[in-house]
Amino acid sequence: MADGVDEVRLRRLLGGDHTAWLLDRVRRRLELGRPVTGAVTLTGASLEQRRAVERLLGRRAGTGTSLTVSLDDVDAVVRASGAAPDGLVAAVRVLLGEVSDRSVAEAEESAAWSAACAPLDGLAARRPELTTWRAWLDATGMVRRMASTPADATALVEALVRVLDALPSTGLPLGRLAAMATGDAHALDDGRPLSTLSLGAVRVLAGAAPAGHGSASERRAAWAAVGVHRDELSSSVLCVGLPGGTATAVARMVALAREAGEPCVLTLRQLGQDDLNLGVGVGPVRVCENPIVLACAADELGAECPPLVCLSGHPSAAALRLLTMSATGGAHLAYHGDFDWGGIRIANALRERFEWRPWRFDARAYRSALTSVTGGTLTGRPVDAAWDLDLRPALQQHGVHIQEELVLPDLMNDLAGRVHRSHVP
């Protein structure tokens, strides 16, 4: 009991049923961190409630349906009566028990959530490309939706940072990435909190918005764009003209495809053989974005087609592994893609992993193409081309996107060697 409080007298003054509303108003002010001063009003007061206030204050409480009481007057009465020398706040704490300050509790909880999410701020500072994802987390309240308490959020965020610090990878299985980050190989399974938060960042790293449409193929493509595969069979890459060899069954299969002038689809499983030798050597390997380029090359050039790899959009884990094998073996990579913002983002992501030279994929080639083809209206969010800072201004100036299909004749001429050497990487 508070020092000096006469609880018996205090309950006679304020402890009755007809003054309970008054104590409740004081309690709510204390919970909200508001001062216990000024007046409070009870609408629709009963006669008994009005008489109780009159007895408490020693004067008429007015007429009408509303009852207004000065908290300062009540404070003065309980002090003067000796029931609670420390005033109304002390009286309420004796009658109702300790009252927590909600504002303090809310501030403490907010600070705990901020501390839990602080590693994400550090991550975004280290990797500015994740800034939009970090803002998306706050805008959607995604972390709080995935974790019920700040303590849960702390563990989740720490695992999330470990996942993203491992990206991009060079062909890591999703389960292994999950095990490395959390000790649980299923932590990145669909629907798990860590998977949901990681996917938003993965999409941004791949040049897309953090919220995807969520289909299985979209999720698979997003992970593949940062070098993570969900399994070794669903990830594949399309190629034509790779020499192949005789050391392994896969190398012999590639050699037979080259001899027949046919494209070949290689899975990540097939590309995972340690002794695989596809015979690329130190020669050039051209890389395109769209399968139509590779199909036309096979149709027109057949067995004479030089090594050509197709990304089919964002590079899969299999594509990244094939290009890694080629670059490690000394091959010179040359890339061509769509002249639009998506094409530039794909090329930028590839540039972060490999050294490659543009294959008719710079500002000069874009302006040249505009003189002979009619493209579509350029849309989307602009981005710099890491290999040619003049390309973005050129695209913005003309506002036209040009897909690879529109410049097929020039690409086929390059592959066939029917062009001046200055155009060939």
DSSP of 192-257, one letter per residue? SHHHHHHHHHHHHHTTS-SS----HHHHHHHHHHTTEES-TTT-EEEEE-----SSSHHHHHHHHH
The tens digit of pLDDT for each residue in 346-359 reads 999 899 888 999 99
Q: Let me know if residue 2 belongs to a domain.
A: no
Task: Mention every residue, 6+ apart, whose C-beta is less than 8 A from residue 29.
Answer: 35, 36
Q: Do 400 and 295 share a structural domain?
A: yes
Task: Mention every residue, 6+ apart, whose C-beta is less than 8 A from residue 402.
Answer: 338, 339, 340, 366, 369, 370, 373, 375
Q: What's the one-letter identity of residue 132?
A: T
pLDDT at 131: 93
Q: Do 188 and 165 share a structural domain?
A: yes
- Quick one: average pLDDT of 137-150? 91
- Quick one: average pLDDT of 97-122? 81
Q: Do 121 and 55 share a structural domain?
A: no
Torsions phi, psi for 327 (to 5 deg): -65, -40
Query: What is the residue range of 121's domain?
Result: 110-229
Please determine, for residue 389, whether its predicted confidence score (pLDDT) is greater than 50.
Answer: yes
- Quick one: average pLDDT of 341-370? 93
The tens digit of pLDDT for each residue in 39-62 reads 989 998 888 998 998 888 888 877
Q: Let me know: does 199 contact 185? Beta carbons within 8 Å.
A: no
The tens digit of pLDDT for each residue in 185-201 reads 888 988 899 999 999 99
- The pLDDT confidence band at residue 104, using thresholds 50, 70 and 90, is low
Q: Let me know if residue 1 belongs to a domain.
A: no
User: Which of 91-98's residues contact partners 24+ apart within 8 Å by CB, and which partners?
Assistant: 91/5, 91/10, 91/14, 92/23, 92/26, 92/27, 92/30, 93/2, 94/1, 94/2, 94/5, 94/7, 94/10, 95/10, 95/11, 95/14, 95/15, 95/23, 96/23, 96/27
- The pLDDT confidence band at residue 3, using thresholds 50, 70 and 90, is low
User: Position of tokens 């974790």?
Assistant: 147
Q: Which of 100, 122, 146 is the last residue of a domain?
A: 100
Q: Do 350 and 263 share a structural domain?
A: yes
Q: Do 369 and 317 share a structural domain?
A: yes
- Quick one: average pLDDT of 312-330? 86
Q: Let me know if residue 61 belongs to a domain.
A: yes
Q: Let me know: does 331 contact 308? Beta carbons within 8 Å.
A: no
Q: Do 156 and 132 share a structural domain?
A: yes
Q: Let me know: does 278 contact 245? Beta carbons within 8 Å.
A: yes
CA–CA dist 287, 310 (Å, integer): 6
- Quick one: average pLDDT of 166-184? 87
Q: Among candidates 238, 223, 327, 361, which has minimal Cα distance to 290? A: 238
Question: How many distinct structural domains can be found in the chain?
Answer: 3
Q: Among candidates 70, 72, 69, 89, which has minimal Cα distance to 10? A: 89
The tens digit of pLDDT for each residue in 399-421 reads 999 999 999 999 999 999 864 44
- Quick one: average pLDDT of 84-95? 87
3-state DSSP assignment of residue 98: coil
Q: Which of 229, 254, 278 is the last residue of a domain?
A: 229
Handedness of CA 134, 136, 137, 138 (dihedral sign): positive
CA–CA dist 173, 231 (Å, integer): 7
Q: Do 382 and 314 share a structural domain?
A: yes
Q: Do 266 and 338 share a structural domain?
A: yes
Q: Do 398 and 336 share a structural domain?
A: yes
Mean pLDDT estimate for the chain: 88
